[in-house]
Amino acid sequence: MSGTAASKSVSASLTRTPAWRALVAHHRNWTERHLRDLFAADPQRFERFSLEAGGLLLDYSKNLITTETRDLLVQLSLERGLPDRVTALLAGKRVNQTEKRAAWHTALRSGDAAPREVRSTLAAMRVFADALRAGLLQGVTGQPIRNIVSLGIGGSALGPALVVRACAPDTASPRVHFVTTPGEPMTRLLATLDPATTLFIVQSKSFSTMETVRNAQAAKTWLLAGLQATDVGIHFAAVTANVEAAGAFGIAPERLFPMWDWVGGRYSVWSAVGLPAMIAMGSAAFDELLAGAGLMDRHFAEAPPERNMPMLMGLIGLWHHNFCGGASRAVISYEHGLALLPPYLQQLEMESLGKSVTQKGKTLRTGSGTVVWGGLGINAQHAYMQSLHQGTQLVPVDFIAACLPRYDRDTDTQAIILANCFAQSALLMQGVSADDIKRQLTAGGMDAKEAARLAPHQALPGNRPSNTLLLPSLTPHSLGALLALYEHRTFVKAAILDINAFDQYGVEHGKKLAGSLLPELNGKPPATTHDASTSALIRHALKNNGRKP
């Protein structure tokens, strides 16, 4: 499809496109279909609905699709100009229309092709991280730094914390910690650390984020008191775009690492925001993280839609949400190192796709982003998997597992983990009929009447969709590919819906309102008027914390 034709199609209402209308008609046929029957009818279904990219295997055969579904979804992507939009994204064009800038996070992992400022920043990060890991950087007392505390929130914390949990050995030195909210979390952590051997990295583009600045001030007070020094700037570094404010705080220019407007917070782990992760895992491992993401970027750019992993995941997600009624999606990992993946994806997808207007400000007539949630698979099986199997809501699942364990090569234990993962996806797909339950119970000696009574309670409907993503093992390279996959999956859905995946005005308005309430909660006269509920809550809080309203 030409760029002109694509732009004309995108400007039209999504629900009026030929492919969308065809998908509506196609979905009517699903009432009589069951996934177990599709598998029984097609022994090659796995081969038809699976692919490898970036070292990852995606099995999407257990989704509510046929070849016709896939063809129609691909046609929809072409009618909506997806290939042109992908080209614009990867070329650093101005795809963030509301804020009038690029969303060029892929440039951060493009190796020698990266912009000069990216390469120079990575070089400076490597020098700093390697020196810390070698014990060459010291505090005011001359002792080497042994603990790093990253102060940030949202994208400045979720990505680096995930990478550290997934890829840094438990014996990493120096130790890296993350604090996002002020108050008790900061107080508890500082009680375990020595000021003489602790360095703080302040992560804030504006150097004015309320929670982060509060923690930075608390860290400075703690250092000054504990070290009995007048200048503790050597115990700080910063990742920020506000060099002046960071300098006024006392951070030396050589300890400042840049943030760029064309990298959004939830896409920033590849930038200097990833410095804590580089320190924990080593610069060579961080380079592998970038390389894995870069490999997925190239696949996204070059593979045709019907063989393009991020495109297929995005399109199938759109199908489940807007046609099949799956308003939420569970991400369930059978790899302990990915425990922080669900909250990371919550920000990535729900902040990106939580929109209700198109790029032109028109009211969206379809569903936008789903609710993303999940956790570790072994735990999930003893908790909420019950609802996914027998509940009334359709919840598509992404299962993620690794073929080999991270550290030891205890393949017997890994076999148990994989058996559980594969069993859950198979059971969601095929279910267990009431007739099968009755046969099993009576074969075990149960009275036929009692078996008939219990069968409806034990039966599982099946026909519940899922993807399974298999990593060779959880390494920096495979993690990079996985995170880039989900970034691009998110962009695909945004492109089809014609919404901006790169702004977050709901978040910004929340910050602004919190700032306006703060003086009043500190006992000062109200700066603005509030609704009755908010005013009453403020009065109650002031009454109970000893401050008069």
Q: Which residues are catalytic?
A: 351, 382, 511
Rounded to the nearest 5 percent, the helix, strand and coil shares of the chain are: 55, 10, 30
What are the tokens at 64? 């509510």
Residue 343, phi then psi, degrees to nearest 5: -65, -35
Strand order in 50-53's β-sheet?
50-53, 56-59, 466-473, 397-404, 328-333, 371-376
Please tell me whether the peptide bond between 174 and the residue prior to it is cis, using omega within 30 degrees of 0: yes
Residue 99, phi then psi, degrees to nearest 5: -100, 0
What is the CB neighbour count within 10 angstroms for residue 461? 15
| Distance, CA of 65 to CA of 335 (rounded, Å) | 27
- Residue 246 region, left (φ>0) first, then alpha (ψ -120 to 50), else beta? alpha
What are the tokens at 433? 């009929």
Provide the 3-class DSSP secondary structure of residue 434: helix
> 141: which residues sit within 8 A by CB, 6+ positions away?
196, 227
In whole angstroms, how far apart are CA 435 and each of 11, 158, 442? 51, 47, 11
Please name the amino acid found at residue 46: F
Q: By C-alpha distance, which of 186, 174, 173 is closest to 222?
A: 186
| Distance, CA of 508 to CA of 209 (rounded, Å) | 11
Q: Is the CB of residue 324 less than 8 Å from the CB of residue 394?
A: yes
Helices (H), 171-282: 184-190, 210-227, 243-249, 275-281
| DSSP track, 510-545 | HHHHHHHHHHHHTTPPPSS---HHHHHHHHHHHHHT
Q: Give CA torsion, residues 260, 262, 264, 268, to 10 deg.
A: -60
Greatest CA separation found in the chain? 83
